Structure 1
Amino acid sequence: MLNAAKTSIFFSKNTQAEFKDFLRSSAGISITSSYEKYLGLPALVGRSKYKTFARIEGRVRKKMDGWKEKFLSQAGKAIPTYSMSVFQLPKKLCNSLNSLVSRFWWGKNYESKREAGQICNLVLSPLGSADQIVWQGTKHGLFSVKSAYHLEMQHRKQSRGESSKTGLVERIWKTLWNLNVPPVVKHFAWKVIHKVKAIIEDFDGASAKMEKERRLSGPGRVRWQKPPVGIMKINWDAALHKENKHMGVGVVICDDKGDVVVALSKIVPYIVDPLTAETVVVWHAARLVCEMGFQNVLMEGDSLSVIQELQKQGPNGSGCGQLIIDTKSILSSLDSVSFQHVKRDANKVAHCLAKFALSQMLDKVWVEDCPPIIQPIVLAKQAEDY
């Protein structure tokens, strides 16, 4: 049974008036001239599906503009799942909805960009190794009360802000704020001093790190040497461009005569940490070795930390542990593999190729050919009978 009060009939423009009157009088229901929606959905879809469903985009935009806190549950509620379960939405509309969601998550404010950068910087296992929980307060990734204490003290120090009330720093700040200049000039000078201070601190930190690396590495070798007979030597290095958040990969494989057999120059995005960059490079080097079918290799790099991690046995809980595990897994099928640390001067060819990747922003592989960018270095070393 039909409820005549809630039922109406809609005719197309081609329907004759006599037929409309006959059907209305026979069925006892009213005629409507517009039937735009049924259960919130359009009852008729014309030639332009995008115009028909354009209201969906407007509703999604309105919801997202009104939200102040960005939670996944809220973003999920904005997706027109009911409409999509009934109609196949046009591709143009789907692209617009994707753009709205993308702008919602990766907005223009600083916090969103920072979060997006942190997500992009995550190094995932290329081989799909199982996830593991890592404590970043220690190098080995295991929690300790001591590391938690130091981390808390660091956070408290940062929350209190820097102290500038003693010695030379105090006199600088007092002189600055007592200057007879407009406030905007004082503020600009304050920003410049802070930036200079940050650069000096970064330089001091880098110098301390290099000094520690030098002490740990001992005398070391500063000249490249040919590998033993029947062994392929793989030199690898990374170069960083922190502003563009890219890293360059440089891998050079030489035979026991010192000739370049294979070389790789490659760009990897979203890597800004030096240790992570070196770990990513050695993974690419291991993959290149297996692709070329070499079985007896000597892996040589100037990152002592990565070399030590590769030489360790058992599980690896460090921040780059997954890549280390993957690299070992790739190399496990070879007949023999050894790892050796050298100074930067003995690793110039790989470093030069990594810098070349950043300058060219392209990926390239040379097989049985020496890249022109490193040819002068190779010829110079051969002249020295290295």
Structure 2
Amino acid sequence: MPPIPASKNWMKPPNGYVKINFDAAVLHRRMGFGFIARDSDGFVIGGSSGFKDKLMKADWAEMEAFDESLKMASNLNISKVIFESDCANLVNKVKKRGLDITIMGCCVNEACKIFDNFDLVKINWTNRSSNRVEDFMCKFTKTDYPSEIHDIVMNEAIN
């Protein structure tokens, strides 16, 4: 059977939802994270990036990015939200929360308590090529929504 083609571009969320893509990177003994929230038209309604002078494994860096994106979503008073990450391990831990007794599983459980602030929450794995904006933000920026990513965001919103 031929493989089912998967979209490798960012996809707009359904009407009434906000999609928050997040990513993290560990570079030069530092952890960088980035996340961006876009509405069903593909337009940015929030986002941020930052660095922490901490050496950590990639999964823990992704957990930090997820936690920061949860805080932003809560502050934006979003009712229906879809989180997307290219970290399959974290996505699986969130989807199976409550069943994982590892330290990270406990951290995921704690972070996901904020889900009560939303009417509907989904988390999806996405291909790395669908997370280009966040990947750029977590590796190269220290400001909110830098102008360098404007063209990437607009291209994804139009397509």
Determine if the alignment matches structure 1 residue 288 to structure 2 residue 63. no
- TM-score when normalising by structure 2: 0.89
Residue of structure 2 in register with 1:380 after alignment: 155
SS in 2 for 1:332: helix
Separation in 1, partners of 2:107, 2:7: 27
Whether the 8 Å CA contact 1:280–1:323 is kept in 2: the answer is no
* Shift in CA distance, 259/307, structure 1 to aligned 2, threshold 3 Å: same
Determine if the alignment matches structure 1 residue 337 to structure 2 residue 121. yes
Determine if the alignment matches structure 1 residue 256 to structure 2 residue 31. no
Residue of structure 1 in register with 2:82 after alignment: 298
Q: Deviations over 1:10-48 (max 9, x none)?
A: xxxxxxxxxxxxxxxxxxxxxxxxxxxxxxxxxxxxxxx
Richer in helix (by share): 1
Q: Deviation above 6 Å: which 4+ runs of structure 1?
A: none
Determine if the alignment matches structure 1 residue 325 to structure 2 residue 109. yes
Match of 2:136 among 314, 339, 352: 352
Match of 2:12 among 203, 226, 229: 226
State the Cα RMSD in Å.
1.8
The one-letter amino acid of 1:301's match is: S
TM superposition shift of 1:326: 2.1
* Shift in CA distance, 219/316, structure 1 to aligned 2, threshold 3 Å: farther
SS in 2 for 1:271: coil
The one-letter amino acid of 1:232's match is: V
TM superposition shift of 1:325: 1.3
- TM-score when normalising by structure 1: 0.38
Whether the 8 Å CA contact 1:302–1:344 is kept in 2: the answer is yes
May I ask how many residue pairs the two structures share in their alignment? 156
Determine if the alignment matches structure 1 residue 272 to structure 2 residue 47. no
TM superposition shift of 1:239: 1.4
Structure with max Cα Rg = 1
TM superposition shift of 1:229: 0.3
Return 5+ residue gaps in structure 1 as ranges. 1-217
TM superposition shift of 1:315: 4.2
Q: Deviations over 1:125-176 (max 9, x none)?
A: xxxxxxxxxxxxxxxxxxxxxxxxxxxxxxxxxxxxxxxxxxxxxxxxxxxx
Residue of structure 2 in register with 1:312 after alignment: 96
Question: What are the equivalent positions in structure 2 for 1:173-212 lying under 5 Å apart?
Answer: none
Q: Percent identity?
A: 25
